[in-house]
Amino acid sequence: MNQPIEHVTRQVSDTVTRGRLVAPHIPERVSARELTIEFDPEPYPEVPAAFDEFCRITGTAGRLIGYKVRPVVGDDEIRARVTATVEMGSASFVGHGVAEDVVEGSVQAFAAAVAQQK
């Protein structure tokens, strides 16, 4: 990935939140009351669409085959721990991201998974 992670995060976030992708199932923040969100491509096409946008921006190719968001409760904050499983070629890679913003955590997880291929 040639672009800084902050730049990619901003672009994916702008796409998700500004209507180019309608994303009612990707909350901006995660709360302690939320249960784990597990990815299923059929009812929630917004999650792989966000990954596709990540691939477009970074010039990578892959397919999102697994996605989980879990709340991580700290002393003063609640963060999202995102786990993404990405298929690239005949192999799959797992990446993790942790952030207060779910989109930011997702981009971190996508980038971590894609980086393992190299």
- Residue 10's domain comprises 5-115
Quick check: 81 and 70 in contact, CB under 8 A?
A: yes
- Looking at residue 91, its pLDDT comes to 94
- Looking at residue 53, its pLDDT comes to 87
CA-CA-CA-CA torsion for 24, 84, 57, 62, nearest 10 degrees? -120
Q: One digit per residue, pLDDT tens: the chain, 118 residues?
A: 567 777 787 777 776 665 444 444 445 444 544 445 555 555 566 778 888 888 988 999 999 988 888 888 777 777 888 899 999 999 999 999 998 888 888 889 999 999 998 6
Neighbours of 89 (CB within 10 A): 8
Phi then psi for 63, rounded to 5 degrees? -135, 130
Angle between helices 5-17 and 102-115 (to 10 degrees): 130
- Looking at residue 45, its pLDDT comes to 66
CATH code of the domain covering residue 13: 3.30.160
- Say how many domains are in the chain: 1
- Looking at residue 23, its pLDDT comes to 42
